[in-house]
């Protein structure tokens, strides 16, 4: 039956994606859409307007480890205005102190499980405790952050037409049965274990991203980040690289959780931030693995840290926690192909930079 399409009939009238943010696309863009004769010149003008107008970028979790490095990188670009929202659960204002008072920078104390009304062009959505000891501390809050927090950010992105990037995780692969992991692998996750608040939470967050994309035409980007390390990690963050460096500097035994043969692949933070920005600026939704394919057992990492930082410390085997993935290594073929991205820093280059930062913060001078 031929009929005029109605709002209720989505099969006959597929819903159009929302227009991009009014902040990015000025009146010129609307003129360009209306009058085809003016299209070419309007396109040129619109591009110039976009080029010269400021880009408002929201970073949730921007006071954390990766978020604060991302802020540094985005603030280098004169036309970016950066707004950070954070509840300081694991992040700190200290990580952002160099930007306090800067006219292009704003910091808002806000918990993303509550709605946020703000006008922005892009959203880097990072907010979520990332270290196992912190995400297990209040698992219900971790799930709420991943589910309700992501819903809130998607609702915001939909309202203002902003592009949104989620920092998902290699933990969506769980204890992987495929090695290395590529993006088509669906994972092996325990849905009721002590890590589930985080890994299942991130899996739901990814689902929400793709449902908003399919249903509402949202511009989404999903990064699956593999273990990232670098300066500015919390000294008592609990993750393996920060633990080992802090322990070595304090002259304490390096706590290798048994059996020590479990593997991880460690990516230096500046490489990771480069990958996130390329993903945001590129045209691929993802999911895309971002990580360094160099794979080490935890015992090998302990030996490297010992050799580099303090050859006198001992390595002590301690009990592990449930569901610890036994192996993890990213297949980054897709990132290489579609983002022309691959990490530059090897572990031997990155560890000394982190050591230097930890020495300064712990007040331990190099002999």
Ligand X SMILES: NC(=O)c1ccc[n+]([C@@H]2O[C@H](COP(=O)([O-])OP(=O)(O)OC[C@H]3O[C@@H](n4cnc5c(N)ncnc54)[C@H](O)[C@@H]3O)[C@@H](O)[C@H]2O)c1
Q: Which amino acids are annotated catalytic?
A: 198
Nearest approach, Cβ of 170 to ligand X (angstroms)? 6
Stretch that binds ligand UGA, among 7-15, 89-97, 141-149, 253-261 (CB under 6 A): 253-261
- Nearest-angstrom CA–CA distance, 88 and 70: 17
Task: Please choose which of ligand UGA, ligand X, none residue 149 contacts, taking the beta carbon within 5 to 8 angstroms, the exact cut-off set by kind.
Answer: ligand X
Nearest approach, Cβ of 130 to ligand X (angstroms)? 3
- Nearest-angstrom CA–CA distance, 62 and 89: 12
Angle at CA 137, nearest 5°, toward 136 and 138? 90
Tell which one of 227, 289, 310, 327 touches ligand UGA (CB under 6 A).
227
Task: Please choose which of ligand X, ligand UGA, none residue 299 contacts, taking the beta carbon within 5 to 8 angstroms, the exact cut-off set by kind.
Answer: none
Decide: is 222 part of the binding site for ligand UGA (CB under 6 A): no
Decide: is 243 part of the binding site for ligand UGA (CB under 6 A): yes
Chain position carrying tokens 């560890």:
351
Nearest approach, Cβ of 241 to ligand UGA (angstroms)? 7
Is the alpha carbon torsion for 248, 254, 260, 264 positive or negative?
Answer: negative
Decide: is 130 part of the binding site for ligand UGA (CB under 6 A): yes
Task: Please choose which of ligand UGA, ligand X, none residue 256 contacts, taking the beta carbon within 5 to 8 angstroms, the exact cut-off set by kind.
Answer: ligand UGA
Decide: is 256 part of the binding site for ligand UGA (CB under 6 A): yes
122 or 169: CB nearest ligand UGA: 169
CA nearest to 78, candidates 57, 100, 108:
57
Q: Which long-range contacts (CB under 8 A, 24 or more apart) does 255-259 make?
A: 255/316, 255/318, 256/298, 256/299, 256/302, 256/315, 256/316, 256/317, 256/318, 257/298, 257/317, 257/318, 257/319, 257/320, 257/321, 257/324, 258/317, 258/318, 258/319, 258/320, 259/320
Cis peptide before 233 (omega within 30 of 0): no
Stretch that binds ligand UGA, among 183-191, 221-229, 281-289, 343-351 (CB under 6 A): 221-229
Residues within the interface to ligand X (CB under 6 A) = 60-61, 63-67, 86-91, 111-113, 126-130, 145, 149, 167, 169, 225, 227-228
Say if residues 333 and 182 touch (Cβ distance below 8 Å): yes
Decide: is 292 part of the binding site for ligand UGA (CB under 6 A): no
Decide: is 132 part of the binding site for ligand UGA (CB under 6 A): yes
CA nearest to 167, candidates 288, 56, 267, 83:
288
Decide: is 239 part of the binding site for ligand UGA (CB under 6 A): yes
Task: Please choose which of ligand X, ligand UGA, none residue 297 contacts, taking the beta carbon within 5 to 8 angstroms, the exact cut-off set by kind.
Answer: none
Burial of 291 by CB count in 10 Å (0-12 exposed, 13-18 middle, 19+ buried)?
A: buried
25 or 291: CB nearest ligand X: 291
Say if residues 21 and 162 touch (Cβ distance below 8 Å): yes
Nearest approach, Cβ of 142 to ligand UGA (angstroms)? 11
What is the contact surface with ligand UGA in residues (CB under 6 A)? Answer: 130-132, 169-171, 225-227, 239-240, 243, 255-257, 262, 264, 298, 320, 324
């Amino acid at each position: 039956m031929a009929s005029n399409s109605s709002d209720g009939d989505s099969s006959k009238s597929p819903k159009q994606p929302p227009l991009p943010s009014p902040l990015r696309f000025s009146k010129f863009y609307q003129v360009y859409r209306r009058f085809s004769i003016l299209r070419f010149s309007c396109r040129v003008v619109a591009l110039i307007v976009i080029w010269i107008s400021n880009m408002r970028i929201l970073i949730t979790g921007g006071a954390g480890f990766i978020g604060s490095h991302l802020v540094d990188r985005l603030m280098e670009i004169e036309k970016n205005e950066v707004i950070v929202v954070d509840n300081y659960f694991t992040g700190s204002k200290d990580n952002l102190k160099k930007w306090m008072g800067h006219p292009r920078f704003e910091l808002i104390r806000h918990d993303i499980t509550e709605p946020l009304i703000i006008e922005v062009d892009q959203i880097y959505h990072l907010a979520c405790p990332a270290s196992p000891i912190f995400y297990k501390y209040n698992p219900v809050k971790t799930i709420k952050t991943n589910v309700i927090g992501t819903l809130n950010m998607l609702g915001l992105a939909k309202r203002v037409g902003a592009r949104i990037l989620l920092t998902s995780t290699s933990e969506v692969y769980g204890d992987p049965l495929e090695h290395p992991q590529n993006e088509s692998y669906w994972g092996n996750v325990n849905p009721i274990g002590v890590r589930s608040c985080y890994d299942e939470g991130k899996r739901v967050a990814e689902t929400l991203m793709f449902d908003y994309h399919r249903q509402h035409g949202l511009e989404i980007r999903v990064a699956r980040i593999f273990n990232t390390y670098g300066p500015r990690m919390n000294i008592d963050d609990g993750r393996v690289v920060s633990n080992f460096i802090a322990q070595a500097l304090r002259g304490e035994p390096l706590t290798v959780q048994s059996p020590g043969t479990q593997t991880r692949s460690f990516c230096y933070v500046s490489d990771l931030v480069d990958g996130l920005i390329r993903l945001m600026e590129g045209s691929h939704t993802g999911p895309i693995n971002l990580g360094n394919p160099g794979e080490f057992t935890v015992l090998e990492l302990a030996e490297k840290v010992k050799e580099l930082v303090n050859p006198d410390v001992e390595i002590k085997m301690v009990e592990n926690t449930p569901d610890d993935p036994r192996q993890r290594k990213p297949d980054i073929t897709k990132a290489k192909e579609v983002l022309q991205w691959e990490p530059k820093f090897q572990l031997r280059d990155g560890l000394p930079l982190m050591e230097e930062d930890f020495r300064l913060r712990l007040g331990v001078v190099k002999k």
